[in-house]
Structure 1
Amino acid sequence: MNLMDITKIFSLLQPEKEEEDTNTGEKQALNQAVYDNDASTLDQLLRQECYKRFINSRSGWGVPGTPLRLAASYGHLSCLQVLLAHGAEVDSLDVKAQTPLFTAVSHGHLDCVRVLLEAGACPGGSIYNNCSPVLTAARDGALAILQELLGHGAEANVKAKLPVWASNIASCSGPLYLAAVYGHLDCFRLLLLHGADPNYNCTDKDLLARVPRPRTLIDICLHHNCEPEYIQLLIDFGADIYLPSLPLDLTSKDDKSINLLLQARAVPRSLLSQARLVIRRALCQANHPQAIDQLDIPSVLISYLKHQL
């Protein structure tokens, strides 16, 4: 993060002079209506200009935020819908540069996530925040929320925004890494279906070049003793099975995950499997990883391409 980024963040989060000099009663009234989940009162207040002018104002204890953020944090869906109907800024930032969507994801409020995304919320959160909704959902195992985010165009290969000196950490902090180490197999599979790179958590070549020995996802799964299903999924989705270095005498080790890897190295992929990988890669390169259903091919082949067979 450079000085320009820091300056931009502070400028976004500075309260307007008008807000500083105005009585806070109106803002408190809006927040109280949201806190009480009183959508009717909130609607009546916002019909009055003296209240509506504070619809995007940040206030409150703890982490000052907008009324929309407060509704997202409590999962008060009806209040959230009222705020959006009255023109609340869907991607407003709190003092940590987190959007209401990020807050809804963090608290596991699926309905709020859906409404915010339908209202145009950026599925990747704020560019000024180090984390992202996808990383949070992958870590928490929130499969339905992760599906909504990816379905609205969130990046499956997103990485945490860390400084250069922490790049050795950044290379192993992607969504697939988090889903694996926290044991969320369904999220792991979903990310792969949406084009997540099966080799590394990061697709930034410059970043990978700075890391002395970037660890592959197979490395990570073996290190954390993940179930064999994780290794099989990586193999099925085209991971380079020769990247992990296995210095031990593994031929005598009774480990299902390692045996899967050794078997994959010994037996070439079938032509059908290779064709599936080529088609999926082509769709990902065209930024349409979910366009498989639109292909003019038999349904049984579509199921195979979607790893449903």
Structure 2
Amino acid sequence: MSLMDISKIFSLLQPKDEDEDNEQSQALNDAVGRDDVALLSELLSQESYRRSVNSRSGWGVPVTPLRTAAALGHLRCLELLLENGAEIDSLDVKAQTPLFTAVSGKHLDCVVALLKAGADPNGSQYNNCSPVLTAAREGDADVLRELLRFGAELDVRSKVPDWASNASACRGPLYISAVYGHLDCFKLLLLHGANPNYNCTDRKMLARIKQPKTVLEVCLRYGCGVEYIQLLIDFGADVYLPTLIIDKTTKQNEALALLLKERVCPKTLMSQTRLVIRRSIPSLNKEAAVESLDIPLILRNYLKHETSELI
């Protein structure tokens, strides 16, 4: 993080003259906190309150009314604030956007409203985490689906300074959804084009971490189950990448057997064809692209991994 980045974060901590004792801002936040849509609408009908719509107030960590609405999941208040000029990607002192707080609170309707209004699906560049990483960790497939539909980065990783790089910084949404046991999020990420061989390929990172773990290896070591291994195989993961260390603590007998079998048995022609077709489709909104293909429904379903090879 550069000095400029740090300065921007700390500037958010400094009270501004116009925000001190700002009764209008506090009144807006109070109305949002009580989910009092009628009162909020009445306040915003007045010019003085509309001018304070992006001001921060509150005890401890001051926040904007939009951030409050997103954190509490008060949809109608959130929509009213957006209609009256609320800054959609305003940051709090943790560099979290309203979208990030809505994702953290699992408020799907607020997430959708913010995305439709133009919120950045990747959150803030100044925050170490991201909405996608948060949704993957929490196992919220519905929120994750909306983020991906609006173009969120699939293979994002936590942002840390180069000097603080470590193995955990290599772990993206696939890692996280597997380790936390969220199979539906894991498959959703793969369907949208997440790299099944994901590891850190950044040169600066590799200078510190010579052998970052692949997703396959992480799934084996964490005992994620045969379903995860099968999905990675189906989506084209390189089965020769993991370093297999078999000892008495190995929990993955079935999954390990599946991986070893895949190493000696070639993929079927249909499976290889599916991989080639999916790889030729742009990653952005891959699911919609598959759905739009002018091919029989059964083949579209096969490309979406909804149909067996025995068709």
Length-normalised TM-score, structure 2: 0.92
Q: 1:57-76 CA deviation, whole Å, 9 max, x = no partner?
A: 11212432110000111111
Contact 1:198 1:239 in 2 (8 A): yes
Number of aligned positions between the proteins: 305
Equivalence for 1:132 = 130
Which residue identity is paired with 1:302? R
What are structure 2's unaligned runs of at least 5 residues?
Answer: none
CA distance in 2, matches of 1:260, 1:246: 13
* Deviation of 1:155 (Å): 0.9
* Deviation of 1:215 (Å): 0.5
Equivalence for 1:3 = 3
1:184 aligns with one of 182, 185, 188? 182
* Deviation of 1:279 (Å): 1.6
CA distance in 1, matches of 2:187, 2:258: 17
Measured at CA, do residues 253 and 38 of structure 1 come closer, stay the same or move farther in structure 2, by a change above 3 Å? closer
CA distance in 1, matches of 2:239, 2:67: 44
CA distance in 2, matches of 1:205, 1:298: 44
Three-state SS of the structure 2 residue aligned to 1:57 is coil
CA distance in 2, matches of 1:94, 1:253: 43
Q: Stretches of 4+ moved more than 6 A in 1?
A: none
Measured at CA, do residues 152 and 288 of structure 1 come closer, stay the same or move farther in structure 2, by a change above 3 Å? closer
Which residue identity is paired with 1:273? S
Equivalence for 1:158 = 156
CA distance in 1, matches of 2:61, 2:183: 33
Equivalence for 1:19 = 19
* Deviation of 1:254 (Å): 7.6
Equivalence for 1:225 = 223
* Deviation of 1:3 (Å): 1.3
Equivalence for 2:277 = 279
Equivalence for 1:270 = 268
1:174 aligns with one of 167, 172, 175? 172
Question: Which range moves more in the overlay, 95-104 or 167-176?
Answer: 167-176
Q: 1:152-206 CA deviation, whole Å, 9 max, x = no partner?
A: 1111111110121332234442111110011000000001111111112445455
* RMSD after superposition: 2.1
Q: Does 1:239 align with 2:237?
A: yes
CA distance in 1, matches of 2:247, 2:151: 44
Which residue identity is paired with 2:132? V
Question: Which range moves more in the overlay, 270-279 or 178-187?
Answer: 270-279
Three-state SS of the structure 2 residue aligned to 1:19 is coil
Three-state SS of the structure 2 residue aligned to 1:123 is coil
Contact 2:108 2:142 in 1 (8 A): yes
Three-state SS of the structure 2 residue aligned to 1:284 is coil
What are structure 1's unaligned runs of at least 5 residues?
Answer: none
Q: 1:4-44 CA deviation, whole Å, 9 max, x = no partner?
A: 22223334664443334xx4211111111011100111011
CA distance in 2, matches of 1:10, 1:211: 31
Measured at CA, do residues 178 and 57 of structure 1 come closer, stay the same or move farther in structure 2, by a change above 3 Å? same
1:1-309 matched pairs, under 5 angstroms: 1-11=1-11, 14-20=14-20, 23-202=21-200, 204=202, 206-208=204-206, 210-248=208-246, 255-284=253-282, 287-290=284-287, 291-309=289-307
Length-normalised TM-score, structure 1: 0.92
Measured at CA, do residues 105 and 178 of structure 1 come closer, stay the same or move farther in structure 2, by a change above 3 Å? same
